[in-house]
C-alpha cells in the first residue's frame, strides 16, 4: 500500500508515524513538503551554543496528546514544565500583573481587573450582571464585540488581546467566540444570565498542575523521532501541484499514483488541491485567513536583571513594536542553567505583515529597545537570531466551527482521503497531533 502525506509539519509527521504503527512495515509512506525541511512552523534553532524553539515553545499541559506521543517514541525524559512564574502586562507605560482566574483574559469579577483598567471600567464589570444579556444559542461573534460591549474596551485591549495574540497571532477582532472560547459559548448557549456568570461557569477548576509543558531540547527532537519511526520517504522542496482521483486510488503530482492521501497542508494550499474534487470544501477552506509573525531571540549577559516573571505581554495600542516577550530563562528552569539569559520577542499580528520586511538588524534593534523600555534596564544582546513566519497561523474567525463542519462533511465520502492541520480543531501542538492521529486512523480503516 502506498500512502502520500502532503505536508511535513507536526500534523503530517504524526500522521506518517501513526500510519506506520497501524499499517506495519510493508506500507510505502511518502511525505511531500514544499519547504526544504520538515517541521512546518515548529523549528528549533540555535542561540548562544544551545537549542531554542523559534516557533511554538510550549503546549497546553492538560491535553494528553504530546506527553503520550513522547512516551511512545521514548522521549518522556524530554518533558519539562515551566518554573511557575506569572507574566506581566505592559499597559499605559507601566507593567501590571496579569490578572489571575480569567478565561483567556476575560474576568469573572471586577476586582481581578483592579489596577489594570480605570475606575469606570471596574464599575462597568461590576454592574454587568444587572444588564440584560441578549445571546442566541448557536450564535457566534468576534471576541471584541462581546467582551467590549459587556465589560468595556479596556478589558479587551489590556487583558484579552495580549493572550489571544500569543495563541493566534491575531486579535479579538479577528477571532470568534465559539472557536476560541468553546466553554464560554457553551455556558452562554445554556442560558447564562450574564457574561460574568458564563465566565464563572466556563473557568476550569483551580489546579496546581502545570498549565504548559515543553521539550528540554526543543521540538526538533520530537520531529526527528517521528520522521525516523515513520520509516517514510521524504520528498522536500517539492510542492504538491495537483490532486486527482485515479483508477484505483489517488494521483498526487509529482509523485504519482497512491492508495491514500493525507492533506496536512495549510488551508489555502488544501483549498487549491481540493478545488476540482470537493468544491464546497475548497470554498470553505479559501475563507480561512492566516496571520504572519516574527520571533527574535536574544542572548543577554547572564547577570541581566530581568523581572522574575515568565514574560511581558503588550496591550493593544501601546507605542511599542513588539507585541510580547517571553523571558525564557525565567520561564523554563532548564534554560536558566545556560550561560546566557534568553529572551524571545514576538512581532506581527493579523492584518499587519510589515515586520516581515524589516531587516534582521532592525528587528533585533527593535526587540532590544522595546525590552529595555518594558523592563527599565539596559539590554545589550550578545547574539540574536531572527525567524520569520509568513502566513503561519490560521485565524479562527466567527463561523469557523460551521466552516470546518462544511469541510469535513464535503470530504467524508472521499475514501482514502483525510485532512489534518492547525486550521481544523485548534492551533496548538496537541490539537495538531490529534488531527494527524485521526487522519491516519481514517486512512488505515479504509485500507482494511
pLDDT digits (tens, 9 = 90+) for 4-20: 999 999 999 999 999 99
User: What mean pLDDT comes out for the span 316-326?
Assistant: 96
Instruction: Indicate whether 62 pLDDT > 90.
Output: no
Q: Which residue has the cell 499587519?
A: 352
pTM of the model: 0.96
Question: 419-447 burial by CB neighbour count: b if 16+ within 10 A, else e?
Answer: bbbbbbbbbbbbbbbbbbbbbbebbbeeb
Which residue would you say has higher pLDDT here, 199 or 204?
199
Q: Report pLDDT for 240.
A: 97
pLDDT at position 153: 98
Average pLDDT over all residues of the chain:
96
154, containing H or E segment? helix 153-155
Which pLDDT score is estimated for 208?
80
CA 386, CA 358: separation in Å to the nearest integer?
11
Helix (H, G, I), strand (E, B) or coil at 61: coil
Q: Under a CB-based contact definition with an 8 Å cutoff, are residues 104 and 180 in contact?
A: yes
Q: ∠114-115-116 over CA atoms, to 5°?
A: 95
Instruction: Tell me the longest C-alpha to C-alpha distance in the chain.
Output: 69
361 has a pLDDT exceeding 80: yes
pLDDT of residue 194: 97
Q: Is the pLDDT score of 447 beyond 80? A: no
Q: Which one-letter DSSP state was computed for residue 82? A: B
**Quick one: pLDDT at residue 177?**
97
pLDDT at residue 425 in the model: 96
Interval 164-191 mean pLDDT: 93
Environment class of 257 (CB within 10 Å of its CB; exposed 0-12, middle 13-18, buried 19+): middle
Instruction: Find, among 394, 439, 443, the residue nearest to 168 by Cα.
Output: 394
Amino acid at each position: 500500500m502506498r500512502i502520500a502525506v502532503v505536508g511535513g509539519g507536526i500534523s503530517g509527521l504524526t500522521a506518517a508515524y501513526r500510519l506506520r504503527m497501524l499499517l506495519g512495515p510493508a506500507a510505502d509512506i511518502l511525505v511531500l513538503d514544499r519547504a526544504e525541511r520538515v517541521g512546518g512552523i515548529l523549528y528549533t534553532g540555535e542561540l548562544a551554543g544551545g537549542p531554542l524553539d523559534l516557533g511554538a515553545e510550549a503546549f497546553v499541559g492538560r491535553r494528553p496528546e504530546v506527553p503520550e506521543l513522547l512516551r511512545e517514541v521514548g522521549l518522556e525524559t524530554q518533558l519539562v514544565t515551566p518554573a511557575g512564574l506569572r507574566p506581566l502586562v505592559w499597559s499605559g507605560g507601566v507593567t501590571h500583573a496579569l490578572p489571575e482566574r480569567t478565561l483567556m483574559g476575560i474576568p469573572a469579577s471586577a476586582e481581578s481587573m483592579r489596577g489594570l483598567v480605570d475606575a469606570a471600567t471596574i464599575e462597568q464589570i461590576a454592574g454587568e450582571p444587572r444588564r440584560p444579556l441578549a445571546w442566541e444559542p448557536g450564535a457566534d461573534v468576534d471576541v471584541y464585540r462581546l467582551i467590549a460591549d459587556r465589560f468595556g474596551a479596556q478589558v479587551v485591549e489590556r487583558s484579552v488581546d495580549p493572550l489571544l495574540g500569543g495563541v493566534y497571532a491575531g486579535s479579538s477582532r479577528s477571532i470568534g467566540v465559539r472557536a476560541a472560547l468553546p466553554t464560554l459559548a457553551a455556558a452562554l448557549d445554556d442560558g447564562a444570565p450574564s457574561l460574568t456568570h458564563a465566565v464563572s461557569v466556563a473557568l476550569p477548576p483551580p489546579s496546581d498542575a502545570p498549565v504548559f509543558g515543553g521539550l528540554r531540547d526543543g521540538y526538533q527532537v520530537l520531529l526527528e523521532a517521528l520522521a525516523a519511526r515513520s520509516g517514510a520517504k521524504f520528498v522536500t522542496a517539492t510542492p504538491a501541484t495537483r490532486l486527482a482521483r485515479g483508477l484505483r486510488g489517488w494521483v498526487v503530482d509529482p509523485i504519482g499514483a497512491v492508495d491514500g492521501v493525507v492533506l496536512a497542508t495549510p488551508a489555502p494550499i488544501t483549498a487549491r488541491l481540493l478545488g476540482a474534487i470537493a468544491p464546497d470544501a475548497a470554498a470553505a477552506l479559501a475563507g480561512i485567513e492566516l496571520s504572519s509573525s516574527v520571533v527574535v531571540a536574544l542572548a543577554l549577559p547572564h547577570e541581566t536583571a530581568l523581572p522574575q516573571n515568565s514574560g511581558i505581554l503588550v496591550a493593544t495600542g501601546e507605542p511599542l513594536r513588539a507585541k510580547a516577550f517571553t523571558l525564557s530563562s525565567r520561564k523554563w528552569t532548564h534554560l536558566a542553567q545556560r550561560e546566557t539569559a534568553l529572551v524571545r520577542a514576538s512581532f506581527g499580528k493579523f492584518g499587519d505583515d510589515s515586520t516581515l520586511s524589516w531587516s534582521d538588524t532592525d528587528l533585533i534593534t527593535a526587540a532590544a529597545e522595546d525590552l529595555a523600555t518594558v523592563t527599565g534596564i539596559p539590554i545589550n544582546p550578545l547574539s540574536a537570531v531572527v525567524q520569520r513566519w509568513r502566513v503561519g497561523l490560521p485565524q479562527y474567525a466567527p463561523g469557523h466551527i460551521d466552516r470546518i463542519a462544511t469541510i469535513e462533511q464535503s470530504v467524508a465520502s472521499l475514501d482514502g482521503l483525510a485532512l489534518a492541520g492547525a486550521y481544523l480543531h485548534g492551533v496548538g501542538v496537541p490539537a495538531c497531533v490529534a488531527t494527524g492521529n485521526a487522519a491516519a486512523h481514517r486512512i488505515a480503516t479504509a485500507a482494511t
